[in-house]
Structures are given as structure tokens and as C-alpha cells.
Amino acid sequence: MHYRNVVICVSILLANHVLADVAKPDDHAPIGVMVDHQHKKGEWMLSYRFMSMSMKDNRDGTERLSTAEVLVNGSGDYRVAPTKMTMNMHMLGLMYAPSDSYTLMAMIPYIDNDMDHLTAMSAEFSTSSSDLGDISLSVISTNSLGFIWNLGFSFPTGSQDQKDVTPMGRSVLPYPMQIGSGTYDLIAGIGYVIEQDNGSAGIQMRGLFRLGENDDDYKVGNRYALTGWYSRRLARHLSLSVRGAY
């Protein structure tokens, strides 16, 4: 499917000591950036993020296909074609620093998927799935050169056997509609932040690597992300940021 991303992020930050110590409104990266900072010993932070993704159309590699080119009543090979999918994710995050050198982070997602379909008989139907996703635990630290690195694991707490009613009866949904990966995954990333008098800038690379196959004898693809941002301080308690992601 062709991805058209609409990401909406809302954050609620609660931290002992942190709120009083933050001197600049651009001390944190844009809310969509994970693990851009660490905390001092004893500090903690609770965050909430909401992300929404919309996907439509079908592709064969990079070539866009119409629904008729997918279905058998046209020039395709399939009896059912997806036409649209939406994914909403609620992410609860918790950070705690047991020392000045290391910060621990837990991310707990709840995912809600919906997909619309069209059959070769021109019948429309929809399926949905929702559940707790894969929980991740990570450690964050900064080396002597100022690079912020993180290392962690994602655990297969999300289900991979979601079912719903289709024209064929109650069936196991395809893997894009499954909530979890079913595998233990390695998470690794590194970033760098430049502080300026009137703002800050940063860059970050992260990867998620699947460690083996799940119980259904497949594994979801690895994920790689590169992002950069710039934050401009407008007032004592206000900043404006721009971010690019790949």
C-alpha cells in the first residue's frame, strides 16, 4: 500500500525536578523524536503520544497499481484488494534515571487498526484489530564526545493472531493488521544535539532489528529511521521547531 502519513503527537510531561531545571523551551527535541535526552539521578518523566497513520492505494515495488490491476476481475491475481488502512497508536512512555550516567526508558503502545477492502465481486467489507503492542525497554547515555546513544529490546507482548469477520468467515488477519511482531527485537540508536544561544539542532539515527522468526515462521522487516530537527527560541517559554524524517 502507498503510505500517506499523518502524525499527530500530544505529550504530557510530568517530572520531579525536571520542570524546575529546564531553562530553555527548546531543551527537548520535537515530540516525535524519541530518546533525544537523558535525566539527572532521581529524575523521571511520564509522556503520552498519539500517532495516526493513513494508507491507501496499492503498489508492486515502486509501481502504483489500481484496484482493477490487483483483482482477478481485472488484470490481477487476487480476489480481495485492500483500499485503505488507518493505524492509531497511543504511546505511554516512562523515563527514570538511576544515576547521572544512565537513563532507563519504557515505551508501552496501544494500537488500533482498521482496513477497508474490495472483493472481485465488488463487495466492500472492513476489518479491525486493537490490543496492547510490543513493549520496549531501553537504556540511554551520553559518551565523552557528546553523542547520545540508546540500546534496548522490544518484547513480543503484542498479539500476532488477530482475527475478524471476512467474506470467508472469521479469519486470521494479514500481517499489516497484526498488533505485534512476535519476535524479540534489538533497538539501537545514536544522536547528537547542538546547543545555540537562540535555539538548538539535532540529528538521530535509529534501527530496530528482528532477532529470528515468530511462531508463525515469518518475521516483520527491520526498521531504520533518520531524523533531524531545528528549534528556534521565540520567548522564554516558547519555541518553534521544524523536523525532517526519513
The closest of 174, 144, 140 to 160, measured between CA atoms, is: 174
Question: Domain containing 74: what range?
Answer: 2-245
> Which residues of the chain are under the pLDDT cut of 70?
1-23
Q: How many domains does the chain have?
A: 1
Q: What's the pTM value of the predicted model, to 2 decimals?
A: 0.82
pLDDT at 82: 92
Of 19, 26, 20, 23, which Cα lies nearest the Cα of 231? 26
Q: What per-residue confidence (pLDDT) applies to 65?
A: 87
Contacts of 244 (CB under 8 A, 6+ apart): 227, 228, 229
pLDDT of residue 145: 85
The pLDDT of residue 8: 47
The two counts, helices (H) then strands (E), for the chain are: 2, 15
pLDDT at 13: 46
**Residue 241: all three cell numbers together:** 521547531
Look at residue 76 in the predicted model and tell me its pLDDT: 78
What pLDDT score was predicted for residue 1? 55
